[in-house]
Amino acid sequence: MAVGFVVLKEGHRPSEELKKELIEHVRKTFGPIAVFKTIEIVKALPKTRSGKMMRRLIRAVYLNEPLGDVSTLEDESEVEEIRRAIEQFKKAMEERGP
């Protein structure tokens, strides 16, 4: 299951409609094999001080695995932002049921 994390540009507001539009855009752009279960809108993504996105941290938080070395992380609050979004997603999935 693929989950996308999106940081909105200034002037855009998060909404369920926007999430649906983004999911459909990915589907049209990359084909039917690239389908997100959901898109979570976050304030920031974890990056190194040099600006590289730390995808392994996002994956580790999602899979509830140890984060490993975070010494190059620019801002630790970005990991908490991802953790919050994942918890909201999991809660929504539980409420939906099977």
What pTM was computed for the model? 0.73
CATH of 2-96 given 3.40.1360.10, 3.40.50.720, 3.40.640.10, 3.30.300.30? 3.30.300.30
pLDDT band at 15 (very low <50, low <70, confident <90, very high): very high
pLDDT band at 1 (very low <50, low <70, confident <90, very high): low
Q: What is the pLDDT of residues 19-73, one digit of tens each?
A: 999 999 999 998 888 888 888 888 888 988 888 889 898 889 888 899 888 888 8
Domain boundaries, the chain: 2-96
State how far the Cα of 43 lies from the Cα of 68, in Å rounded to an integer: 23
Phi and psi at residue 17, in whole multiples of 5°? -65, -45
